[in-house]
Amino acid sequence: MNVRDVSVRRLSIVSSRPFDEVVARLSVVIGRPDMILFRKALTEAQTPRQLEAAVSAAIGPSELMEFARFDAGEVLRKAGDTQAPRVLRLLVGNPLIMKEMAKLVPDAASYAPVTLLVDARADGVHISYDSMASLIAPYGSTQASSVAEALDAKIEQLLRAAA
């Protein structure tokens, strides 16, 4: 068994906007495809051009799409904690970006799609993201790191705009 330590750099931005507004600002620029239809389009794609078309139809203006969302706050409240904070985890990404990293560093696929965490705290709404470049840095691929750094920049811009 191989063991690799990975040091993660977390970017967190605090917004004074209300939770629902932050989520809405993210949602408007992140594609939210019907995942059954998206999966079907990926399965039916026979060429790189068809794959690109399927992804292009799914992504939003941010060039990212939402794969899933998990409302941890709702789960906490339903478990009886009526004071539970609002916490939302969005899994977002772009399969074409993941492909570019994973063909160089296969382990990069275990980090994609990425998590955007939106949570309400006393000092504001935090929007957090674990840097893809930090996650794949230990693998030593400068090409994959370049792709990851571009993804990090794209997501940082997205978070700043939402905040």
CB atoms within 10 A of CB 140: 9
| Fold of the CATH domain 10-162 | TATA-Binding Protein (3.30.310)
Distance CA 3, CA 147 (A): 24
pLDDT at 70 > cutoff 90: yes
- pTM comes to 0.91
Where does the pLDDT of residue 5 fall: very low under 50, low under 70, confident under 90, or very high at 90 and above? Answer: confident
Q: Tell me how far CA of residue 108 lies from CA of 3, 113, 144, 151, in angstroms.
A: 15, 10, 9, 12
Q: Using DSSP, state whether 120 is helix, strand or coil.
A: strand
Phi, psi of 87 (to 5 degrees): -140, 120
pLDDT tens-digit readout, 25-38 = 999 999 999 999 99
Say how far apart CA 139 and CA 131 lie, in whole Å: 14
Domain ranges of the chain: 10-162
What is the mean pLDDT of the segment spanning 9-31? 97
